[in-house]
């Protein structure tokens, strides 16, 4: 069955793709005029100069589906400090019981033109984002303070994000609680995942730091982080920090669990490599991380700024002979599984 036979509303029946014109107002009207419909964007370009917003109210909600090469792109005169697409922003609501409460965004390309964020979840519950390619964005995905006592309960999976290679560029920012992020690749950002919330499940996430533009400067590399956690009760499983100065950061309050983390550096250009960094006391659990340090850099497996804490690091796989900072030994459970450094 094709999209029309599935009952989708075909956007190009109303708005021409590749017109070179600003389609913001037309798209917004199409969304608000068609409650409880799935809007389908065929391949082609759709320029917008301001965000398009969907309602979170179940009786007015819509889902957006983009064909693989359908591209929603910010115009050159974009000035908003928001995302191209703001899910739930047109009508904030907190309801999981009414039909229409579970809407989604799927497929296509979001191009921020180096100016806009990609997509945000502003309100609603149990919203899904999947199978989308997000390019040239300041923040790829922003999950805002959730509608249900801060819980947003969103599910994000199978997403690729490429940032702007600038200091303010982040892959994902989470401010709402209780989300899942699964199967994601992120590149050209200063920080991969930034968690300002808790109850999140992170699995198979791979942010990559690339030495280009602003990120090629040493002072910017030294503040780069693959996974920055400023909350608690988060779960990390098979998460891969690639070439960031610090793989994972956490706080005293971060009672997190990190399983099977992978941290590596493909280049020694930064000169400093840190696996896990704790601001305060260490109260998390780290199990079976693999950390591939370079041989010609200053290396730390675990740094803790304040003594004490009940956390531990168990059975790391790394090369202890090239780790200058031995602070990890105070928190080691089991033994190091040695690996050969190349």
Phi, psi torsion values for 94, nearest 5 degrees: -130, 100
Give which of 278, 315, 281, 280 is closest to 300, Cα–Cα.
Answer: 278
Domain spans of the chain, in order of start: 9-225+237-253+302-309
Q: Tally the C-alpha atoms within 13 A of residue 62's C-alpha that lie toward its C-beta.
A: 27
Q: Tally the C-alpha atoms within 13 A of residue 119's C-alpha that lie toward its C-beta.
A: 30
β-partners of residue 191 are: 170, 225
Class in CATH terms, 9-225+237-253+302-309: mainly beta
Is there a contact between 48 and 27 (Cβ–Cβ < 8 Å)?
A: yes
Is there a contact between 278 and 258 (Cβ–Cβ < 8 Å)?
A: no
Could you tell me if residue 138 is left (phi over 0), alpha (psi between -120 and 50 degrees) or otherwise beta?
A: alpha
Look at residue 176 in the predicted model and tell me its pLDDT: 97
Look at residue 342 in the predicted model and tell me its pLDDT: 58
- How confident is the model over 177-233, as pLDDT tens digits? 999 999 999 999 999 999 999 999 999 999 999 999 999 999 999 999 999 999 999
Rounded-to-integer distance, Cα 37 and Cα 137, Å: 28
Look at residue 341 in the predicted model and tell me its pLDDT: 63
Strands 109-111 and 191-195 come out as unpaired
Rounded-to-integer distance, Cα 324 and Cα 334, Å: 20
Is there a contact between 201 and 235 (Cβ–Cβ < 8 Å)?
A: yes
The series of mean pLDDT values per 10 residues for the chain, 342 residues long, is 90 98 98 98 98 98 98 97 98 94 97 98 97 98 95 98 97 98 98 98 98 95 98 97 98 95 96 97 98 96 95 97 95 91 60
pTM for the full predicted model: 0.97
Q: What angle do CA 185, 113, 224 make, to 5 degrees?
A: 45
Instruction: Count other C-beta atoms under 10 Å from residue 271's C-beta.
Output: 13
Look at residue 327 in the predicted model and tell me its pLDDT: 96
User: Hey, what are 199's tokens?
Assistant: 């109850």
Rounded-to-integer distance, Cα 31 and Cα 174, Å: 26
Q: How many Å is the Cα radius of gyration of the chain?
A: 21
Terminal Cα distance for the chain, rounded? 53
Q: Which positions ≥6 away from 286 have C-beta within 8 Å?
A: 258, 261, 276, 302, 311, 312, 313, 314, 316
- How confident is the model over 265-296, as pLDDT tens digits? 999 999 999 999 999 999 999 999 999 999 99
Q: For a pLDDT cut of 70, what percent of the chain falls above it?
A: 99
The torsion of the CA quartet 25, 30, 36, 38, rounded to 10 degrees, works out to -100
Look at residue 13 in the predicted model and tell me its pLDDT: 98
């Amino acid at each position: 069955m094709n999209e029309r036979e599935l009952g989708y509303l075909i956007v190009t029946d109303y708005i021409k793709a590749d017109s070179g014109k600003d389609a913001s107002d037309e798209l917004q009207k199409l969304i608000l005029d068609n409650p409880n419909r799935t809007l389908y964007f065929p391949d082609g370009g759709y320029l917008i100069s301001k965000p398009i917003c969907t309602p979170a109210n179940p009786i007015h909600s819509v889902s957006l589906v983009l064909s693989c090469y359908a591209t929603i792109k910010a115009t050159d005169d974009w000035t908003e400090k928001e995302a191209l697409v703001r899910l739930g922003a047109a009508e904030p609501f907190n309801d999981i019981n009414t039909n229409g409460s579970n809407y989604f965004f799927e497929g296509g390309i979001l191009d921020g033109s180096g100016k806009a964020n990609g997509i945000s979840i502003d309100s609603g519950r149990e919203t899904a984002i999947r199978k989308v390619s997000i390019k040239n964005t300041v923040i790829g995905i922003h999950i805002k303070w959730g509608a249900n006592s801060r819980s947003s309960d969103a599910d994000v999976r199978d997403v690729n994000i490429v940032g702007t290679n600038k200091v303010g560029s982040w892959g994902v920012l989470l401010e709402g609680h209780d989300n899942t992020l699964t199967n994601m690749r992120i590149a050209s950002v200063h920080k991969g995942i930034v968690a300002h919330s808790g109850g999140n499940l992170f699995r198979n996430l791979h942010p990559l730091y690339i030495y280009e533009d602003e990120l090629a400067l040493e002072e910017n590399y030294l503040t780069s982080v693959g996974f920055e956690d400023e909350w608690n009760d988060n779960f990390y499983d098979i998460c891969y920090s690639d070439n960031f100065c610090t793989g994972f950061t956490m706080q005293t309050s971060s009672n997190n669990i990190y399983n099977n983390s992978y941290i590596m550096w493909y280049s020694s250009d930064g000169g400093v490599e840190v696996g896990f960094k704790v601001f305060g006391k260490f109260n998390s659990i780290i199990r079976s991380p693999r950390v591939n340090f370079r041989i010609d850099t200053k290396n730390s497996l675990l740094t803790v700024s304040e003594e004490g804490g009940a956390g531990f690091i168990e059975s790391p796989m790394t090369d202890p002979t090239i780790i200058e900072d031995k602070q990890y030994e105070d928190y080691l459970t089991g033994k190091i599984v040695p690996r050969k450094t190349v």
